[in-house]
Amino acid sequence: MQKRVIDITPESKPQVKKLRVAAYARVSCDKETMLRSLAAQVDFYRHYIMNNPQWTFSGVYADEAKTGTKEDRKQFQKLLKACRDGEIDMVVTKSVSRFARNTVTLLNTVRELKELGINVYFEEQNMNSISEEGELMLTLMASVAQEESLSCSDNCKWRIRKGFEKGRPNTCTMLGYRLIDGVITIVADEAKIVRRIFELYLSGDGVQAIANILNEEKIETEKIAYWHPDTIRGILRNEKYMGDLLLQKTVSLDHLSKRQVSNTGELPQYHIEGDHEPIVSKEVFRNVQEEVKRRKERYPTRKGKKTAFTGRIRCEICGKNYRRKVTAHNIVWCCSTFNSKGKKYCDSKMIPEDTIKKAVADILGSDDFNEEEFLHSIEYIAACRGNSLRFIFFNGRTVDYKWTDKSRSDSWTPEMKETARQNALRRNR
């Protein structure tokens, strides 16, 4: 009897690859009700994705207090990076307006994701970006969303301007004050810092020196972790600290970029005297403004002259670039940290420009400094400790060079010697 073998292996079922799905959510302001809405969106999409057996949860990317007309939303950009890195197959979002209100941003993003094979599903519109009719519908929807954004922006501006006409500020989160129930109210701990800044300036300290003092004492506030000269400068010039209010200082260029520029007459401004409790007196504030003006006239801002060395000398101690400085006696190059903050922050040395030119000539084997040869041969110069310069060439070669300080007598010009002699005679009389 002939044997018969029958293959009874079960038919294999093809493995269906699960889609890696992420969600994007957004609210445009940080009010409590909006943040609750954002939390609800995040929670909803987490369960929405995890409950689909054909999907794998790849996270929820959520931006709070971010307008949909801008591209620089942190979580939005993080989502796009994950898509570009091949970590996501599909994106789910509530609606077109939640994803982006700017037509150009929306279409460019959707097209890029489509090229990567990634679908964006808009739940409210029940629409897939990867479908044939998707782009046409998206163009129409995005245009509507952008117009809605413009209308909303105009309504907000109208409300704010009507408030300005009645002397009501829109917001106030500056150092020393908060807006509580429509009233600008003093924050006691921060007000002490403000008074001290005004006192230090009137006692002779500059904005950089004041910033250094506050940083060295590790003074921080809710919104200021590190003090910069511009922060100090803004505080000293803000009329709110003497109890007055200047409304509509800036205007918005457009509702898409939302870029603010100074109001130079485009819209009316409103100055309210004695609006709220002052932190400094009017006399102190006016004295500071006079001192600001006096210092500006005495020390006018001079634009640094660009030379072959501009941006090509780096401090090896702090990593900042050297800058050109014209003194009464000569021209030197110094580290920008040393120049603005002092030796405590960077103990680099100033280098005479003539010394650098001689070093370049010696390194290149020339009798004199040749600017063109320097620019085409040397990438940059590293200023190191111990009067040492390291020349880094474009071909990767490095050469170290030691320079010596000029003696005081050598650095004195005949005019300087004559001035010193006259001063000595005066003292002797």
Q: Where are the domains of the chain?
A: 19-149, 167-298, 313-411
Yes or no: domain 19-149 corresponds to CATH 3.40.630.30: no
Which range has the worst mean pLDDT, 20-24, 259-263, 393-397?
259-263
Q: How confident is the model at residue 343 (pLDDT cuts 50, 70, 90)?
A: confident
Which of 296, 358, 350 lies closest to 326 in space, CA to CA? 350
Q: CA 417, CA 429: separation in Å to the nearest integer?
A: 19
pLDDT at 399: 92
Say which range, 82-96, 252-266, 348-362, has the weakest mean pLDDT.
Answer: 252-266
User: Average of pLDDT values for 45-73?
Assistant: 80
- Measured distance CA(287)–CA(224) in Å, rounded: 26
Angle, helix 188-202 to helix 207-216, in steps of 10 degrees: 130
Residue 22 clears pLDDT 90, i.e. is over it: yes
Q: Are the beta carbons of 120 and 148 closer than 8 angstroms?
A: no
Residues 12-19, mean pLDDT to the nearest whole number = 68
DSSP state of 14: P
Distances from the Cα of 413 to the Cα of 11, 408, 427, angstroms: 100, 10, 21
Q: Which helix or strand (DSSP H or E) is residue 183 part of?
A: strand 183-186
The answer to whether 57 touches 50, Cβ cutoff 8 Å, is yes
φ and ψ at 265, to 5 degrees?
115, 0
Please report where in the chains the tokens 């003093």 appear, as a residue.
186
pLDDT at 165 over 70: no
Burial of residue 208 (CB within 10 Å: 0-12, 13-18, 19+) is middle
Q: What angle do CA 378, 379, 384 make, to 5 degrees?
A: 90
How confident is the model over 133-143, as a mean pLDDT?
59
In angstroms, rounded to a whole number, what is the distance separating the alpha carbons of residues 292 and 75? Answer: 42
SS3 label, residue 307: coil
DSSP strand E in 244-298: where? 245-247, 250-252, 260-262, 270-272
DSSP 3-state helix, strand, coil percentages of the chain (rounded to 5)?
40, 20, 40
Largest CA distance in the chain: 142
Q: Are 359 and 390 contacting, i.e. CB atoms less than 8 angstroms apart?
A: no
Task: Of 143-147, 206-210, 300-304, give the range with the top mean pLDDT.
Answer: 206-210
Least confident piece of the model among 180-184, 197-201, 223-227: 180-184
Give residue 161's pLDDT.
Answer: 53
- What is the DSSP-derived secondary structure letter of residue 405? P
Q: What is the pLDDT of residue 158?
A: 46
Cα separation of 329 and 335, whole Å?
19
Instruction: Please report which helix (H) or strand (E) contains residue 403, including its range.
Output: none
Mean pLDDT value of segment 140-165: 53
In contact, 249 and 379? CB cutoff 8 Å:
no
Query: What's the mean pLDDT in 209-224?
Result: 90
pLDDT of 114 higher than 90: no
CA-CA-CA-CA torsion for 213, 216, 222, 226, nearest 10 degrees? 90
Average pLDDT over residues 275-293: 91
Band of the pLDDT at 24, cuts 50, 70, 90? very high
What pLDDT is recorded for position 256?
45
- Classify domain 167-298 at the CATH topology level: Hect, E3 ligase catalytic domain fold (3.90.1750)
61: three-class secondary structure by DSSP: strand
